[in-house]
Amino acid sequence: MTAGSFAIEISRLVKRFGSTTAVNGLDLTIEPGEIFGLLGPNGAGKTTIFKILTTLLRPTSGTVKIFGHDVAAEADAVRQLIGYVPQERAVDRLLTAREHLELFANLYHLPAATAASRIEVALRLVNLADRINEPVGKFSGGMKKRVEIACGLLHEPSILFLDEPTLGLDVQSRSQVWDHIRQLKQRGMTVVINSNYLDEADQLCDRLAIIDRGQLRALGSPQELKRGLGGDIVTVTLEKAVTQPQQLRQALQAISGVREVSVEETVARLALTREAGLNAIVEQVQRAGGGLRAVHYTHPTLEEVFIHYTGHKIREEDIQ
């Protein structure tokens, strides 16, 4: 591992595509050995940031360093330090697990003896050593993802970038991939995850950055971000969508003890700084004509954090 107090150091990063600014003045540091997550809606700039970190794009301005190496000026050195597992599956159903790793070993220009040893280690790490000679076409989605992770580990990177690592996987496969990511952290590897699954970010990540419109909106551990919202969250489910949601939002915002309000279709969410009068909340909902179906009190969740900083919840079109 090369010199540099941070695994990743981003300073005043800007990336423009014509008149569109995808990343706008981002400052961020990631510590060695942590699992770090990027969260944000589609179009937030996460993918652009990922591509810059993995040397696939050059910054318009600002600097990005991987263990002290500039991603633009020292791209070759950076590529020796990183592994990248893309969102799109890169496996060939006709090749065996061994053949996939041998192909990647050739791409990394590993000597034959070194490649053979590392292939065995990588497949043991992802619990596929007993399936090494089977065609990947016979594997489940979770097993295919584990093959991809093994491919990204062959050259023993200091940082592994995972783009939507469990997209489309079933619950059991997701849990298995999470376990393997935790094992990588235990081995001292820095892992950076681009994800739109809030439970995944909450369970896995030591720290999170919420990105929206190319800017950093919040940074901290999942626990810190949830505590930062303050009091409980009140979720009011309406019988029907109100005709003037902005007016309802303003009326709820004026209630003593209410800090933040969002109104989307038939759901109103209120973040409290202290206990607010339930009667006052119900009265304003009824005045708005939405009708009251249910009221729930909950402690802050990562979804409430996301809504607070981006203005809306994760939508289906964000998870793709």
Q: What tens digit of pLDDT does each residue of 220-258 get?
A: 999 999 888 777 888 999 999 988 999 999 999 999 889
State both tokens at 55: 């040397």
- How far, in Å, are 90, 142, 155, 191 from residue 133 at the CA level? 18, 17, 21, 28
Q: Which run of H or of E encompasses 261?
A: strand 258-264
- Whether pTM > 0.95 for this model: the answer is no
Q: What is the mean pLDDT of the chain?
A: 89
**pLDDT band of 284, cuts 50, 70, 90:** very high
Q: What is the pLDDT of residues 9-45, one digit of tens each?
A: 999 999 999 999 999 999 999 999 999 999 988 888 9
Res 314 pLDDT > 70: no
Domain assignments of the chain as residue spans, ordered by start = 8-226, 230-299
Q: What is the pLDDT of residues 38-68, one digit of tens each?
A: 998 888 899 999 999 999 999 999 999 999 9
Class of the CATH domain delimited by 230-299: alpha beta
**pLDDT band of 178, cuts 50, 70, 90:** very high
296 exposed, middle or buried (CB, 10 Å; 0-12, 13-18, 19+)? exposed
Q: Please give the CATH topology (third level) of the domain spanning 8-226.
A: Rossmann fold (3.40.50)
